[in-house]
A and B are shown apart, each in its own frame.
Chain A
């Protein structure tokens, strides 16, 4: 489904609103097929940084230089995007939502892609909802469809802005399991405000401070490989760190 794994290098990321800089000259590198979480207090600009990388911020004060992990130019459609709101189009059925990216790219309806979408819905336990309109689904089901739509993109890099924060705890736990297995071959940059979620999912954690500095959080290895007790300690440490910002 995807091309070869691709990392991401972000350099000289700067964002200013009406002359007031939110952050300046940030840089970060993601190795291929790794999962990185971006943490920070509300309003520190972590979502803005993600939008900047996704090319969604075209304002005058927005600047960024992007390349892959080896410094080569990124291919077209390098990013898939998933946000907090499911953003499913209510005038399209679930399967049409999944295939919208293809249609917008001018690709003709292919039965192979349709079969791919159906298989994905089966994996997500949504096979019987393929023809349903999104508004009849529950919040958790909608977010699973949004995940499926993200996975339908051939993009090697997935940018997610608090994708699991609008659902209840049990649904979030399910979504974590699904996302971890289904996104294993992609490079993920995910914004979250939940230290526990970040530790549970990521290979690396970056913390953006309100003063606009980006620092890695060191817990002696990939956070998701920590034992339960180590993770609890690391979570406490993260909360303290964020609380002092």
Chain B
């Protein structure tokens, strides 16, 4: 039953994509809009084939930035949440700072990151890290704070130490909450990497889009955008799979 349901879900997703492409083709056909404003789906497909090696090479760079940023942001976020949950003096000191730091638009500090870290991979990885750090830290911390009393009571009567309570009971109990943060992060990390590339880079899909824009190669821009969507969807699916594996009890109760 579960298989047939996921099959029909996939069928609906495919149908939605087909409808979108048909609508797009319809607009192009009816309005006869110039191809440098809106290329037809066919032209974008042709660009995907023609520039495939170029797209592959730039896509790899962006993909690497996204994945590295995702991993480092996740580790940093989890470490922060655990620290906040474990030490109340740190919590009192750091929590207000952390909240205040969220009023700074990440995009606005991108130029500073370029200045400090250069035009290479590092500045983009840091951008992606920064953009997902807070959602991960806050969802994980929320989860750590909201352990059901029944579980902490039991841990206490079983003689668990504070560290055991944190790592063996509260952290696993926080996984469902952390997973919703991870899913959010999966969609936000590509944004961070591309913004980084727009501000200053010599490689990557964001760089390619800027170059194509300058040359009115709108079909190539759309092709690069398509690759970016593929990266984001793959990351999301990977994270979703990871979360189902980590928290099987939650995906079961959803059905």
B120 CB-CB contact with A under 8 Å: no
Asked, given contacts A81-B157, A85-B150, A100-B158, whether A91 binds B175 with beta carbons under 8 Å apart, the answer is yes
Complex: how many Å from CA A80 to CA B158? 8
Contacts of A80 in B (CB 8 A): 157
Interchain nearest-CB distance for A43 vs B (Å): 17
Which residue of chain A is the closest to B154 with respect to CB atoms?
A87
Contacts of A104 in B (CB 8 A): 155, 158-161, 164, 168
Q: Are A83 and B150 in contact (CB-based, < 8 A)?
A: yes
Is residue B153 contacting chain A, with contact meaning CB distance below 8 A? Answer: yes
Q: Does A16 contact B (CB under 8 A)?
A: no
Nearest-Cβ distance from residue A187 to partner chain B, whole angstroms? 15
Q: Of B150, B157, B253, which is within 8 A of A79 by CB?
A: B157
Counting CB contacts under 8 A, is B41 at the interface? no
Distance in Å: Cβ of B155 to nearest Cβ of chain A: 7
A89-B157 CB under 8 A given contacts A83-B150, A133-B248, A135-B249 = no
B136-188 residues at the A interface, CB under 8 angstroms: 148, 150-151, 153-161, 164, 168-169, 172, 175
Taking CB atoms, residues of chain A closer than 8 Å to B155 are 104
List B contacts of A56 (CB < 8 A). 153, 156-157
A87 to chain B, nearest CB (A): 4
The answer to whether A54 has its CB under 8 Å from any CB of chain B is yes
**Residues of A in contact, count (CB < 8 Å):** 23
Known interface pairs A133-B249, A135-B252; A89-B169 also in contact (CB < 8 Å): yes
B158-A101 in contact (CB<8A): yes
A162 to chain B, nearest CB (A): 12
Pairwise interchain contact B154-A83, C-beta atoms closer than 8 A:
yes
What's the dominant secondary structure at chain A's contact region?
A: loop
A87 to B164 CA separation, bound complex (whole angstroms):
17
Residues of B within 8 A of A133 (CB): 248-249
Which A residues lie within 8 Å of B150 (CB)? 83, 85, 87
Please tell me which one of the listed residues A89, A101, A136, A153 contacts residue B172 in the complex, with CB atoms under 8 A apart. Answer: A89
Q: Which of B148, B154, B168 contacts A81 (CB 8 A)?
A: B154
- Quick one: given A91-B249, A135-B249, are A55 and B156 in contact (CB under 8 Å)? yes
B160 touches A89 (CB 8 A): no
CB contacts (< 8 Å) of B248 on chain A: these are 90, 133, 135
Q: List CB contacts (< 8 Å) of A43-101 with chain B.
A: 51, 54-56, 76-77, 79-81, 83, 85, 87, 89-91, 100-101
Interface hits, A103-130 → B, CB 8 Å: 104-105
User: Nearest residue in B to A83 (C-beta to C-beta)?
Assistant: B150
- Residues from chain A with a CB closer than 8 A to the CB of B156 are 55-56
Tell me which residues across on chain A come within 8 A of B158, comparing CB atoms: 100-101, 104-105, 153
| A126-156 at interface with B (beta carbon < 8 Å) | 133, 135-136, 153
Q: Which residue on B lies nearest to A91, using beta carbons?
A: B172
Bound complex: CA of A55 vs CA of B151, how far in Å?
Answer: 15
- For the complex, give the distance between the alpha carbons of A87 and B158 in Å: 12
| B161 partner residues in chain A, CB cutoff 8 A | 104
The 6 closest A-B pairs by CB, nearest first: A90-B249, A81-B157, A87-B150, A135-B249, A101-B158, A91-B172
Residues of chain B at the chain A interface (Cβ within 8 Å): 148, 150-151, 153-161, 164, 168-169, 172, 175, 248-249, 252-253
Given contacts A76-B159, A100-B158, A153-B158, 19 further A-B contacts (CB under 8 A): A54-B153, A54-B157, A55-B156, A56-B156, A81-B154, A83-B150, A85-B148, A87-B154, A90-B249, A100-B168, A101-B159, A104-B155, A104-B159, A105-B158, A105-B159, A133-B248, A133-B249, A135-B252, A135-B253
Sampled A-B contacts (23; CB under 8 Å) = A55-B156, A56-B153, A56-B156, A76-B159, A79-B157, A83-B150, A87-B150, A87-B153, A89-B169, A90-B249, A91-B175, A101-B158, A101-B159, A104-B155, A104-B158, A104-B159, A104-B160, A104-B161, A104-B168, A133-B248, A135-B249, A135-B252, A136-B252
